[in-house]
Amino acid sequence: MKTRITELFSIEHPIIQGGMHYVGLAELAAAVSNAGGLGIITALTQPTPEHLAAEIRRCREMTDKPFGVNLTFLPAVKPPDYPGYVRAIIEGGVKIVETAGNNPQKWLPPLKEAGVKVIHKCTSIRHALKAQSIGVDALSIDGFECGGHPGEDDVPNFILLPRAADELKLPFVASGGMADGRSLVAALALGADGINMGTRFIATKEAPVHDKVKAAILAATELDTRLIMRPLRNTERVLANPAVERILAKERELGDRITFQDIAPEVAGVYPRVMQQGEVDAGAWSCGMVAGLINDIPTVKELIERIMAQAEQIIRERLAGLLDGRL
């Protein structure tokens, strides 16, 4: 299957593995790339640019296919060493970067000069248009269904993707609610050039997370995520657990007076405990509504091959059959 995304990134299938904290390590990124998708290493999971450089080298030992690095720009009193991370990406020979968070404009010149293609994550059309205007190469359009930060507009993909297709000139992928061949065909029909999957890739054999994390996703339904940090206008979709219920109780109690410090015990620094040690109730961790569509833990290769086979069957048989008058 050829789309503008497969051509842009020189990949076989229009499937991207999104950047995920303490999940996007070399093992998963290489497995996705080897299966014909685009694997992504998450830069800020690595404590320093030097660690990122080592992770890039490790990934290159596992695959000779294209892979990328996610670099999320966050507001912080003491920001990460972004110049160092950008340097590690460039010196590591990585040619694809997924940016997220704040406007990446100031970091585009060195990346572009090094021949790096940039795909930026957006949760609204206005932000996507801004990203297009500053010179990114592609966009990831994240609907309200997505795990992590869905923005503040609450627009689901059935509306957001056609709006993006109407407004954007750049290729874009659909993120949020993507799990199988049906997701891929639907995204293509709505105007996208591929899909970006996060939660679905956590529930694979190669995902370098504790088995209890995968089991929690498998046990969850589409009703088992919650939105936290809405009063802080930093909304995050997470899997429901006791820590999340404590956060929501504090939000109800404190209302507009709530600060990040009030919920820090349930949010700050919990990812190593959850993803590595399997303490799935230790705090809030990102998970999409798509958990309701996840019923097994295949290898990455099995998952991608299944998605592509199902998508082809839907297009060639069901959709073509509708045109031919076959039910």
The list of the chain residues with pLDDT below 50 reads none
Residue 226's pLDDT is: 98
pLDDT, tens digit, for every residue of 181-224?
999 999 999 999 999 999 999 999 999 999 999 999 999 999 99
Amino acid 2: pLDDT: 98
Assign domain 4-209 to its CATH superfamily: Aldolase class I (3.20.20.70)
Q: What is the pLDDT of residue 196?
A: 98
Quote the pTM value: 0.97
Interval 239-284: pLDDT, tens: 999 999 999 999 999 999 999 999 999 999 999 999 999 999 999 9
pLDDT (0 to 100) of residue 183 = 98
* Enclosing H/E stretch for 320: helix 320-324
**pLDDT given at position 325:** 81
Question: Which pLDDT does position 326 carry in this prediction?
Answer: 75
- What DSSP state is assigned to residue 237? E
User: Cα Rg for the chain, rounded, in angstroms?
Assistant: 19
Q: What is the dihedral of CA 164, 166, 168, 172, to 10 degrees?
A: 50
pLDDT recorded at residue 264: 96
For residue 136, give the nearest of 122, 121, 118 by alpha carbon.
118
Q: Which has the closest alpha carbon to 215: 223, 89, 207?
A: 207
Residue 123's contacts (CB-CB under 8 Å, 6 or more residues apart) are: 141, 142, 143, 146, 149, 150, 151, 152, 153
